[in-house]
Amino acid sequence: MDIKIRHHTQTPIYLQIVNQIKEMIIKGEITDGFVLPSERAMAKYLNVHRNTVIKAYMELKAEEFLESSQGKGYRVSYQSDAVESPGRKTVIAWQSLIKEEYLDLKITFDDLFTKSYSSNNISFAGGIASTEEYGKEDLALILNDIIVSDNAEAYSYTPYQGNQHLRQNIANLMLSKGIKAKPGEIQILQETNQALDYLAALLIKPGDVVITEEPVSPDVYRTFALAGGKVVTVPMDEEGIICDSLESLILKYKPKFIYVNPDFQNPTGTVMSLNRRKALLSLSCKYKLPVIEEDASSEIRFEGVRIPSLKALDKGNNVIFIYSFALTFAPGIRMAFVLADKTLIKSLSYIVSIRLISLDSISQKLLSSYIEKGIYQRNLRNICADYKEKRDLMCACLDEAQDLGLEFQRPAGGVYLWCKLAPDMDFHRMYLKATEKGVSFIPGNVFYLKGSKGDSYIRLNFSYPSKLQIEKGIKILTDAIRESKCCTSQLDIEQIDVE
Protein backbone atom coordinates (compact mmCIF):
# COMPACT_ATOMS: atom_id res chain seq x y z
CA MET A 1 0.00 0.00 0.00
CA ASP A 2 1.47 3.28 -1.12
CA ILE A 3 -0.19 6.07 0.87
CA LYS A 4 1.29 9.56 0.60
CA ILE A 5 0.57 12.15 3.29
CA ARG A 6 0.80 15.84 2.44
CA HIS A 7 1.14 17.89 5.59
CA HIS A 8 0.86 21.37 4.11
CA THR A 9 -2.65 21.08 2.61
CA GLN A 10 -6.02 22.01 4.02
CA THR A 11 -7.39 18.46 3.77
CA PRO A 12 -7.25 16.65 7.16
CA ILE A 13 -4.77 13.78 7.23
CA TYR A 14 -7.41 11.18 8.11
CA LEU A 15 -9.35 12.13 4.96
CA GLN A 16 -6.21 11.80 2.86
CA ILE A 17 -5.90 8.23 4.18
CA VAL A 18 -9.61 7.53 3.58
CA ASN A 19 -9.58 8.77 -0.01
CA GLN A 20 -6.41 6.94 -1.01
CA ILE A 21 -7.53 3.61 0.48
CA LYS A 22 -10.98 3.98 -1.05
CA GLU A 23 -9.52 4.68 -4.49
CA MET A 24 -7.23 1.64 -4.23
CA ILE A 25 -10.26 -0.50 -3.33
CA ILE A 26 -12.40 0.81 -6.21
CA LYS A 27 -9.57 0.38 -8.71
CA GLY A 28 -9.05 -3.20 -7.54
CA GLU A 29 -5.54 -2.57 -6.22
CA ILE A 30 -6.83 -3.83 -2.84
CA THR A 31 -9.10 -6.83 -3.30
CA ASP A 32 -12.16 -7.87 -1.38
CA GLY A 33 -11.18 -9.61 1.86
CA PHE A 34 -7.79 -7.90 2.10
CA VAL A 35 -6.80 -7.31 5.76
CA LEU A 36 -5.44 -3.83 6.41
CA PRO A 37 -2.53 -3.19 8.80
CA SER A 38 -3.49 -2.70 12.44
CA GLU A 39 -4.10 0.83 13.73
CA ARG A 40 -0.67 0.92 15.40
CA ALA A 41 1.15 -0.55 12.40
CA MET A 42 -0.49 1.87 9.97
CA ALA A 43 0.21 4.83 12.27
CA LYS A 44 3.86 3.84 12.50
CA TYR A 45 4.12 3.30 8.74
CA LEU A 46 2.60 6.71 7.94
CA ASN A 47 4.29 8.50 10.87
CA VAL A 48 0.96 9.84 12.15
CA HIS A 49 -0.94 9.58 15.42
CA ARG A 50 -2.87 6.35 15.99
CA ASN A 51 -6.09 8.34 16.54
CA THR A 52 -5.76 9.65 12.97
CA VAL A 53 -5.72 6.08 11.61
CA ILE A 54 -8.66 5.07 13.85
CA LYS A 55 -10.68 8.00 12.52
CA ALA A 56 -9.85 7.04 8.93
CA TYR A 57 -10.80 3.39 9.46
CA MET A 58 -14.07 4.38 11.14
CA GLU A 59 -14.93 6.59 8.15
CA LEU A 60 -14.26 3.72 5.74
CA LYS A 61 -16.45 1.44 7.87
CA ALA A 62 -19.25 4.00 7.82
CA GLU A 63 -19.07 4.06 4.03
CA GLU A 64 -19.15 0.23 3.96
CA PHE A 65 -15.70 -0.19 2.44
CA LEU A 66 -14.34 -1.97 5.55
CA GLU A 67 -15.64 -4.28 8.22
CA SER A 68 -13.95 -5.20 11.49
CA SER A 69 -14.19 -7.91 14.11
CA GLN A 70 -12.47 -8.58 17.42
CA GLY A 71 -9.10 -10.23 16.90
CA LYS A 72 -9.27 -10.11 13.10
CA GLY A 73 -8.76 -6.40 12.45
CA TYR A 74 -10.07 -4.46 9.48
CA ARG A 75 -11.01 -6.30 6.29
CA VAL A 76 -12.05 -4.90 2.89
CA SER A 77 -15.76 -5.61 2.30
CA TYR A 78 -16.24 -3.81 -0.99
CA GLN A 79 -17.76 -6.50 -3.21
CA SER A 80 -21.42 -7.34 -2.83
CA ASP A 81 -22.41 -10.94 -2.11
CA ALA A 82 -25.71 -10.42 -3.84
CA VAL A 83 -26.33 -12.51 -6.94
CA GLU A 84 -28.00 -10.52 -9.67
CA SER A 85 -30.04 -11.88 -12.56
CA PRO A 86 -30.50 -8.86 -14.80
CA GLY A 87 -32.97 -10.55 -17.13
CA ARG A 88 -33.40 -9.92 -20.80
CA LYS A 89 -35.37 -6.68 -20.86
CA THR A 90 -33.23 -3.57 -21.25
CA VAL A 91 -36.03 -1.00 -21.21
CA ILE A 92 -36.28 1.03 -18.02
CA ALA A 93 -39.65 1.04 -16.25
CA TRP A 94 -39.70 4.78 -15.69
CA GLN A 95 -42.96 4.77 -13.72
CA SER A 96 -41.39 2.56 -11.05
CA LEU A 97 -38.47 4.98 -10.64
CA ILE A 98 -40.30 8.31 -10.46
CA LYS A 99 -41.70 9.44 -7.10
CA GLU A 100 -45.42 8.73 -6.85
CA GLU A 101 -46.42 12.37 -6.34
CA TYR A 102 -44.99 13.24 -9.75
CA LEU A 103 -46.82 10.44 -11.53
CA ASP A 104 -50.24 11.59 -10.27
CA LEU A 105 -50.90 14.20 -12.91
CA LYS A 106 -54.41 15.06 -11.80
CA ILE A 107 -20.73 27.38 -0.80
CA THR A 108 -17.64 28.24 -0.75
CA PHE A 109 -17.81 27.58 -4.45
CA ASP A 110 -20.55 30.19 -4.79
CA ASP A 111 -18.46 32.82 -3.00
CA LEU A 112 -15.44 32.15 -5.21
CA PHE A 113 -17.57 32.33 -8.32
CA THR A 114 -19.47 35.50 -7.37
CA LYS A 115 -16.58 37.54 -5.99
CA SER A 116 -14.40 36.80 -9.00
CA TYR A 117 -16.39 39.04 -11.33
CA SER A 118 -15.74 42.43 -9.75
CA SER A 119 -14.67 45.16 -12.17
CA ASN A 120 -11.01 45.19 -11.12
CA ASN A 121 -10.57 41.42 -11.11
CA ILE A 122 -9.11 39.09 -13.74
CA SER A 123 -11.28 36.01 -13.50
CA PHE A 124 -10.22 32.52 -14.48
CA ALA A 125 -12.84 31.20 -12.06
CA GLY A 126 -16.17 30.71 -13.79
CA GLY A 127 -17.26 28.87 -16.89
CA ILE A 128 -18.85 31.85 -18.61
CA ALA A 129 -19.13 32.64 -22.30
CA SER A 130 -17.24 35.56 -23.78
CA THR A 131 -19.37 38.68 -24.16
CA GLU A 132 -17.87 39.23 -27.61
CA GLU A 133 -18.95 36.06 -29.40
CA TYR A 134 -22.69 35.81 -29.78
CA GLY A 135 -23.67 37.81 -32.89
CA LYS A 136 -25.31 40.84 -31.31
CA GLU A 137 -26.39 42.29 -34.67
CA ASP A 138 -28.25 39.09 -35.59
CA LEU A 139 -29.85 38.94 -32.15
CA ALA A 140 -30.92 42.57 -32.40
CA LEU A 141 -32.67 41.94 -35.73
CA ILE A 142 -34.46 38.85 -34.43
CA LEU A 143 -35.52 40.60 -31.24
CA ASN A 144 -36.82 43.55 -33.23
CA ASP A 145 -38.91 41.22 -35.39
CA ILE A 146 -40.40 39.61 -32.27
CA ILE A 147 -41.22 42.96 -30.66
CA VAL A 148 -42.80 44.66 -33.71
CA SER A 149 -44.75 41.56 -34.65
CA ASP A 150 -48.55 41.78 -34.36
CA ASN A 151 -48.54 38.24 -32.95
CA ALA A 152 -49.70 38.53 -29.34
CA GLU A 153 -48.26 35.07 -28.67
CA ALA A 154 -44.81 36.64 -28.28
CA TYR A 155 -45.89 38.11 -24.94
CA SER A 156 -48.10 35.26 -23.73
CA TYR A 157 -47.25 32.39 -21.43
CA THR A 158 -45.75 29.33 -23.05
CA PRO A 159 -46.75 25.71 -22.36
CA TYR A 160 -45.00 24.27 -19.32
CA GLN A 161 -43.01 21.94 -21.54
CA GLY A 162 -41.72 24.91 -23.51
CA ASN A 163 -42.38 26.59 -26.85
CA GLN A 164 -43.44 23.98 -29.41
CA HIS A 165 -41.55 25.67 -32.25
CA LEU A 166 -38.33 25.81 -30.18
CA ARG A 167 -38.64 22.15 -29.23
CA GLN A 168 -39.02 21.23 -32.92
CA ASN A 169 -35.97 23.30 -33.85
CA ILE A 170 -33.99 21.66 -31.05
CA ALA A 171 -35.06 18.23 -32.33
CA ASN A 172 -33.77 19.24 -35.78
CA LEU A 173 -30.52 20.52 -34.23
CA MET A 174 -30.00 17.23 -32.41
CA LEU A 175 -30.02 15.33 -35.71
CA SER A 176 -26.60 16.87 -36.43
CA LYS A 177 -25.40 15.12 -33.24
CA GLY A 178 -26.85 11.78 -34.31
CA ILE A 179 -29.73 12.03 -31.82
CA LYS A 180 -33.26 11.34 -32.99
CA ALA A 181 -35.69 13.28 -30.82
CA LYS A 182 -39.33 14.27 -30.90
CA PRO A 183 -40.63 17.57 -29.46
CA GLY A 184 -42.64 15.57 -26.92
CA GLU A 185 -39.38 14.16 -25.47
CA ILE A 186 -37.93 17.64 -24.80
CA GLN A 187 -38.45 19.85 -21.75
CA ILE A 188 -37.22 23.45 -21.96
CA LEU A 189 -35.58 24.85 -18.82
CA GLN A 190 -33.46 27.85 -17.88
CA GLU A 191 -30.16 26.18 -16.99
CA THR A 192 -28.41 22.94 -16.10
CA ASN A 193 -28.68 23.50 -12.35
CA GLN A 194 -32.44 23.82 -12.65
CA ALA A 195 -32.57 20.63 -14.70
CA LEU A 196 -30.52 18.71 -12.12
CA ASP A 197 -32.64 20.08 -9.27
CA TYR A 198 -35.90 19.03 -10.90
CA LEU A 199 -34.55 15.61 -11.87
CA ALA A 200 -33.34 15.09 -8.30
CA ALA A 201 -36.82 15.97 -7.04
CA LEU A 202 -38.33 13.44 -9.45
CA LEU A 203 -36.00 10.52 -8.93
CA ILE A 204 -34.24 10.68 -5.55
CA LYS A 205 -35.79 9.49 -2.32
CA PRO A 206 -33.98 9.99 1.01
CA GLY A 207 -31.17 7.45 1.28
CA ASP A 208 -30.99 6.67 -2.45
CA VAL A 209 -27.47 6.27 -3.79
CA VAL A 210 -26.30 8.30 -6.79
CA ILE A 211 -23.01 7.53 -8.54
CA THR A 212 -20.98 10.38 -10.06
CA GLU A 213 -17.57 10.72 -11.62
CA GLU A 214 -14.92 12.54 -9.57
CA PRO A 215 -13.74 15.27 -9.78
CA VAL A 216 -17.18 16.73 -10.41
CA SER A 217 -18.83 20.16 -10.20
CA PRO A 218 -19.93 20.95 -6.62
CA ASP A 219 -23.28 22.08 -8.03
CA VAL A 220 -23.88 18.48 -9.06
CA TYR A 221 -23.06 16.62 -5.85
CA ARG A 222 -24.70 19.28 -3.67
CA THR A 223 -27.94 19.07 -5.64
CA PHE A 224 -28.13 15.31 -5.23
CA ALA A 225 -27.16 15.44 -1.54
CA LEU A 226 -29.73 18.15 -0.77
CA ALA A 227 -32.39 15.97 -2.35
CA GLY A 228 -31.56 13.29 0.22
CA GLY A 229 -29.26 11.21 -1.95
CA LYS A 230 -26.05 9.53 -0.86
CA VAL A 231 -23.36 10.43 -3.40
CA VAL A 232 -20.79 7.75 -4.24
CA THR A 233 -17.93 8.94 -6.45
CA VAL A 234 -15.82 7.00 -8.94
CA PRO A 235 -12.37 8.26 -10.03
CA MET A 236 -11.52 9.29 -13.58
CA ASP A 237 -8.49 8.88 -15.82
CA GLU A 238 -7.64 10.23 -19.27
CA GLU A 239 -10.53 8.20 -20.79
CA GLY A 240 -13.17 9.43 -18.36
CA ILE A 241 -14.96 7.61 -15.55
CA ILE A 242 -13.24 4.30 -14.70
CA CYS A 243 -15.76 1.57 -15.44
CA ASP A 244 -13.84 -1.47 -14.17
CA SER A 245 -15.42 -1.35 -10.71
CA LEU A 246 -18.77 0.16 -11.65
CA GLU A 247 -20.56 -3.18 -11.72
CA SER A 248 -19.48 -3.96 -8.16
CA LEU A 249 -20.71 -0.54 -7.05
CA ILE A 250 -24.03 -1.10 -8.80
CA LEU A 251 -24.48 -4.46 -7.09
CA LYS A 252 -23.44 -3.08 -3.71
CA TYR A 253 -25.44 0.16 -3.64
CA LYS A 254 -28.20 -0.34 -6.24
CA PRO A 255 -27.97 3.34 -7.25
CA LYS A 256 -30.85 5.36 -8.64
CA PHE A 257 -28.75 6.66 -11.54
CA ILE A 258 -25.21 7.50 -12.71
CA TYR A 259 -24.22 11.08 -13.57
CA VAL A 260 -21.46 11.87 -16.11
CA ASN A 261 -20.22 14.87 -18.11
CA PRO A 262 -18.53 13.04 -21.03
CA ASP A 263 -17.45 15.89 -23.35
CA PHE A 264 -14.75 18.30 -22.12
CA GLN A 265 -15.70 17.48 -18.57
CA ASN A 266 -15.91 20.13 -15.87
CA PRO A 267 -13.31 20.58 -14.39
CA THR A 268 -10.77 18.29 -16.11
CA GLY A 269 -11.56 18.90 -19.80
CA THR A 270 -11.51 15.11 -20.30
CA VAL A 271 -13.40 13.49 -23.18
CA MET A 272 -14.80 10.04 -22.36
CA SER A 273 -13.51 7.45 -24.82
CA LEU A 274 -15.87 5.53 -27.09
CA ASN A 275 -15.04 2.26 -25.31
CA ARG A 276 -15.93 3.76 -21.93
CA ARG A 277 -19.20 5.11 -23.31
CA LYS A 278 -20.13 1.70 -24.63
CA ALA A 279 -19.15 0.03 -21.35
CA LEU A 280 -21.26 2.48 -19.36
CA LEU A 281 -24.28 1.99 -21.62
CA SER A 282 -23.86 -1.79 -21.42
CA LEU A 283 -24.10 -1.61 -17.62
CA SER A 284 -27.05 0.76 -17.90
CA CYS A 285 -28.93 -1.75 -20.04
CA LYS A 286 -27.89 -4.76 -17.97
CA TYR A 287 -29.13 -3.27 -14.70
CA LYS A 288 -31.88 -1.00 -16.10
CA LEU A 289 -30.00 1.92 -14.62
CA PRO A 290 -30.54 5.48 -15.92
CA VAL A 291 -27.57 7.62 -16.91
CA ILE A 292 -27.72 11.42 -16.70
CA GLU A 293 -25.50 12.91 -19.40
CA GLU A 294 -24.70 16.62 -19.10
CA ASP A 295 -23.51 18.40 -22.23
CA ALA A 296 -22.44 22.05 -22.17
CA SER A 297 -19.23 21.94 -24.21
CA SER A 298 -19.37 19.23 -26.88
CA GLU A 299 -19.80 21.83 -29.64
CA ILE A 300 -16.71 23.76 -28.52
CA ARG A 301 -14.16 21.50 -30.20
CA PHE A 302 -10.88 22.81 -31.63
CA GLU A 303 -9.39 19.63 -33.08
CA GLY A 304 -9.81 15.88 -33.10
CA VAL A 305 -12.73 13.63 -34.03
CA ARG A 306 -16.12 14.07 -32.38
CA ILE A 307 -17.26 11.03 -30.38
CA PRO A 308 -21.02 10.30 -30.42
CA SER A 309 -22.81 11.33 -27.24
CA LEU A 310 -24.17 8.69 -24.89
CA LYS A 311 -27.65 9.73 -25.99
CA ALA A 312 -26.76 9.12 -29.64
CA LEU A 313 -25.45 5.64 -28.73
CA ASP A 314 -28.39 4.85 -26.43
CA LYS A 315 -30.62 2.09 -27.82
CA GLY A 316 -32.86 1.61 -24.80
CA ASN A 317 -33.85 5.23 -24.04
CA ASN A 318 -31.94 4.92 -20.77
CA VAL A 319 -30.04 8.22 -21.04
CA ILE A 320 -31.39 11.47 -19.64
CA PHE A 321 -29.66 14.10 -21.79
CA ILE A 322 -29.15 17.65 -20.45
CA TYR A 323 -27.94 20.19 -23.01
CA SER A 324 -27.02 23.76 -22.08
CA PHE A 325 -26.68 26.80 -24.33
CA ALA A 326 -24.82 28.71 -21.61
CA LEU A 327 -21.46 28.68 -23.44
CA THR A 328 -22.76 28.90 -27.02
CA PHE A 329 -25.58 31.46 -26.90
CA ALA A 330 -25.87 35.03 -25.63
CA PRO A 331 -24.47 35.40 -22.07
CA GLY A 332 -27.26 36.22 -19.65
CA ILE A 333 -29.95 34.48 -21.74
CA ARG A 334 -29.98 31.19 -19.90
CA MET A 335 -31.48 28.28 -21.80
CA ALA A 336 -31.19 24.51 -21.50
CA PHE A 337 -33.29 21.44 -22.16
CA VAL A 338 -33.75 17.85 -21.02
CA LEU A 339 -34.23 15.12 -23.60
CA ALA A 340 -35.53 11.84 -22.19
CA ASP A 341 -38.30 9.24 -22.12
CA LYS A 342 -41.76 10.80 -22.59
CA THR A 343 -42.97 9.48 -19.23
CA LEU A 344 -40.17 11.31 -17.43
CA ILE A 345 -40.66 14.49 -19.51
CA LYS A 346 -44.37 14.53 -18.66
CA SER A 347 -43.53 14.40 -14.94
CA LEU A 348 -40.80 17.01 -15.41
CA SER A 349 -43.35 19.36 -16.99
CA TYR A 350 -45.57 18.77 -13.97
CA ILE A 351 -42.77 19.97 -11.68
CA VAL A 352 -42.37 23.09 -13.87
CA SER A 353 -46.08 23.79 -13.53
CA ILE A 354 -45.70 23.69 -9.73
CA ARG A 355 -42.52 25.72 -9.39
CA LEU A 356 -42.79 28.29 -12.19
CA ILE A 357 -45.55 30.58 -13.41
CA SER A 358 -44.16 30.42 -16.92
CA LEU A 359 -40.96 29.92 -18.85
CA ASP A 360 -39.49 33.02 -20.51
CA SER A 361 -41.44 33.34 -23.76
CA ILE A 362 -39.33 35.93 -25.62
CA SER A 363 -36.01 34.20 -24.86
CA GLN A 364 -37.42 30.95 -26.23
CA LYS A 365 -38.54 32.66 -29.43
CA LEU A 366 -35.17 34.36 -29.73
CA LEU A 367 -33.27 31.07 -29.46
CA SER A 368 -35.73 29.27 -31.75
CA SER A 369 -35.24 31.80 -34.55
CA TYR A 370 -31.47 31.86 -33.91
CA ILE A 371 -31.34 28.10 -34.55
CA GLU A 372 -33.85 28.08 -37.42
CA LYS A 373 -31.98 30.76 -39.39
CA GLY A 374 -28.72 28.82 -39.03
CA ILE A 375 -27.09 31.61 -37.00
CA TYR A 376 -26.44 29.35 -34.02
CA GLN A 377 -24.52 26.81 -36.06
CA ARG A 378 -22.62 29.50 -37.98
CA ASN A 379 -21.67 31.40 -34.84
CA LEU A 380 -20.30 28.22 -33.24
CA ARG A 381 -17.44 28.40 -35.73
CA ASN A 382 -16.59 31.92 -34.54
CA ILE A 383 -16.77 30.84 -30.90
CA CYS A 384 -14.48 27.86 -31.49
CA ALA A 385 -11.95 29.99 -33.37
CA ASP A 386 -11.85 32.61 -30.61
CA TYR A 387 -11.68 30.12 -27.73
CA LYS A 388 -8.95 28.14 -29.50
CA GLU A 389 -6.80 31.28 -29.65
CA LYS A 390 -7.45 31.91 -25.95
CA ARG A 391 -6.62 28.31 -25.05
CA ASP A 392 -3.38 28.45 -27.03
CA LEU A 393 -2.44 31.77 -25.43
CA MET A 394 -3.07 30.52 -21.89
CA CYS A 395 -1.11 27.32 -22.54
CA ALA A 396 1.79 29.31 -24.04
CA CYS A 397 1.89 31.62 -21.02
CA LEU A 398 1.92 28.63 -18.66
CA ASP A 399 4.60 26.88 -20.75
CA GLU A 400 6.92 29.79 -20.05
CA ALA A 401 6.83 28.80 -16.38
CA GLN A 402 7.75 25.13 -16.80
CA ASP A 403 10.34 25.44 -14.04
CA LEU A 404 7.47 25.70 -11.53
CA GLY A 405 6.50 22.04 -11.93
CA LEU A 406 3.01 22.99 -13.14
CA GLU A 407 1.41 20.21 -15.22
CA PHE A 408 -1.62 20.29 -17.51
CA GLN A 409 -3.04 18.61 -20.60
CA ARG A 410 -3.95 20.86 -23.54
CA PRO A 411 -7.70 20.20 -24.00
CA ALA A 412 -9.04 19.60 -27.50
CA GLY A 413 -12.04 21.78 -26.68
CA GLY A 414 -14.21 23.14 -23.90
CA VAL A 415 -13.31 26.13 -21.74
CA TYR A 416 -11.12 24.80 -18.88
CA LEU A 417 -7.51 23.98 -18.08
CA TRP A 418 -7.05 21.52 -15.22
CA CYS A 419 -3.62 22.23 -13.74
CA LYS A 420 -1.63 20.14 -11.29
CA LEU A 421 0.64 22.02 -8.89
CA ALA A 422 4.08 20.93 -7.72
CA PRO A 423 4.00 18.88 -4.48
CA ASP A 424 6.04 21.47 -2.56
CA MET A 425 3.47 24.22 -3.12
CA ASP A 426 2.02 26.21 -0.23
CA PHE A 427 -1.43 26.52 -1.76
CA HIS A 428 -2.88 28.86 0.85
CA ARG A 429 -0.03 31.34 0.39
CA MET A 430 -0.25 31.14 -3.41
CA TYR A 431 -4.02 31.66 -3.37
CA LEU A 432 -3.75 34.75 -1.15
CA LYS A 433 -0.97 36.27 -3.27
CA ALA A 434 -2.94 35.79 -6.51
CA THR A 435 -6.23 37.10 -5.17
CA GLU A 436 -4.57 40.11 -3.51
CA LYS A 437 -3.31 41.10 -6.97
CA GLY A 438 -6.75 40.66 -8.54
CA VAL A 439 -6.58 37.18 -10.10
CA SER A 440 -9.17 34.55 -9.20
CA PHE A 441 -9.45 30.84 -9.99
CA ILE A 442 -11.15 27.79 -8.51
CA PRO A 443 -9.18 25.51 -6.13
CA GLY A 444 -9.33 21.87 -7.13
CA ASN A 445 -10.53 20.59 -3.76
CA VAL A 446 -14.07 21.95 -4.29
CA PHE A 447 -14.52 19.38 -7.07
CA TYR A 448 -13.94 16.48 -4.66
CA LEU A 449 -16.57 15.36 -2.20
CA LYS A 450 -14.00 15.09 0.58
CA GLY A 451 -10.98 16.99 -0.69
CA SER A 452 -7.58 15.22 -0.67
CA LYS A 453 -6.40 14.87 -4.28
CA GLY A 454 -7.96 18.21 -5.17
CA ASP A 455 -5.39 20.03 -3.05
CA SER A 456 -2.90 19.59 -5.88
CA TYR A 457 -5.08 21.12 -8.60
CA ILE A 458 -6.58 24.39 -9.80
CA ARG A 459 -9.14 25.03 -12.56
CA LEU A 460 -8.58 27.90 -14.99
CA ASN A 461 -11.23 29.17 -17.42
CA PHE A 462 -10.09 30.74 -20.70
CA SER A 463 -13.41 31.59 -22.40
CA TYR A 464 -14.40 34.63 -20.35
CA PRO A 465 -11.21 36.74 -19.92
CA SER A 466 -9.82 38.81 -22.79
CA LYS A 467 -6.48 37.87 -24.35
CA LEU A 468 -4.85 40.83 -22.63
CA GLN A 469 -6.27 39.66 -19.28
CA ILE A 470 -4.99 36.12 -19.93
CA GLU A 471 -1.44 37.38 -20.48
CA LYS A 472 -1.52 39.67 -17.46
CA GLY A 473 -3.39 37.25 -15.19
CA ILE A 474 -1.22 34.20 -15.90
CA LYS A 475 1.88 36.30 -15.20
CA ILE A 476 0.45 37.25 -11.80
CA LEU A 477 -0.57 33.65 -11.11
CA THR A 478 2.82 32.16 -12.02
CA ASP A 479 4.60 34.80 -9.94
CA ALA A 480 2.38 33.83 -6.98
CA ILE A 481 3.25 30.16 -7.55
CA ARG A 482 6.97 30.92 -7.75
CA GLU A 483 6.82 32.84 -4.46
CA SER A 484 4.92 30.06 -2.67
CA LYS A 485 7.30 27.14 -2.66
CA CYS A 486 7.11 25.74 0.85
CA CYS A 487 9.00 23.59 3.31
CA THR A 488 6.91 22.36 6.23
CA SER A 489 8.62 22.10 9.60
CA GLN A 490 8.25 19.13 11.94
CA LEU A 491 6.37 21.39 14.36
CA ASP A 492 3.84 22.21 11.62
CA ILE A 493 3.43 18.50 10.87
CA GLU A 494 2.68 17.66 14.49
CA GLN A 495 0.21 20.50 14.84
CA ILE A 496 -1.64 19.49 11.66
CA ASP A 497 -1.72 15.84 12.72
CA VAL A 498 -3.34 16.72 16.05
CA GLU A 499 -5.97 18.77 14.25
Domains and CATH numbers, the chain: 13-76 (1.10.10.10), 109-131+378-482 (3.90.1150.10), 136-376 (3.40.640.10)
**Residue 15: closest CA among 474, 459, 453, 347:** 453
pLDDT of amino acid 490: 36
**Residue 188: closest CA among 212, 157, 146, 221:** 157
Tens digit of each residue's pLDDT (9 = 90 or more) over 206-246:
999 999 999 999 999 999 999 999 999 999 999 999 999 89
pLDDT of amino acid 499: 29
Band the pLDDT of 401: cuts 50, 70, 90: confident
**Residue 436: closest CA among 367, 392, 484:** 484
| Cβ-Cβ contacts under 8 Å for 149 (sequence gap 6 or more) | none
Question: Over 80: is that where the pLDDT of 130 sits?
Answer: no
Confirm if 486 and 429 have CB atoms less than 8 A apart.
yes
Strand partners, 440: 123
Strand order in the sheet with 240-241: 186-189, 336-339, 319-324, 291-295, 257-260, 209-214, 230-237, 240-241
What mean pLDDT is reported for the chain? 87
Tens digit of each residue's pLDDT (9 = 90 or more) over 89-101:
567 767 667 766 4
pLDDT of amino acid 210: 98
pLDDT of amino acid 356: 86
Question: Over 50: is that where the pLDDT of 491 sits?
Answer: no
- Is the Cα dihedral 264, 377, 330, 365 positive or negative? negative
Question: Over 50: is that where the pLDDT of 285 sits?
Answer: yes
Question: Over 80: is that where the pLDDT of 478 sits?
Answer: yes
Tens digit of each residue's pLDDT (9 = 90 or more) over 325-371:
999 887 778 899 999 999 999 999 999 999 987 788 888 988 998 89
Band the pLDDT of 153: cuts 50, 70, 90: low
Strand pairing class (416-420; 457-461): antiparallel
Give the C-alpha distances (Å, rounded to integers) separating 448 from 64, 172, 283, 361, 451: 19, 37, 24, 37, 5
Give the angle 107-113-116 at the CA atoms, nearest 5°.
Answer: 135
Tens digit of each residue's pLDDT (9 = 90 or more) over 436-448:
999 999 999 999 9
Question: Over 50: is that where the pLDDT of 415 sits?
Answer: yes
H or E element in which residue 428 lies: helix 427-436
Amino acid symbol at 207: G
Q: What is the pTM of this model?
A: 0.82
pLDDT of amino acid 277: 98
Amino acid symbol at 28: G
Question: Over 90: is that where the pLDDT of 316 sits?
Answer: no
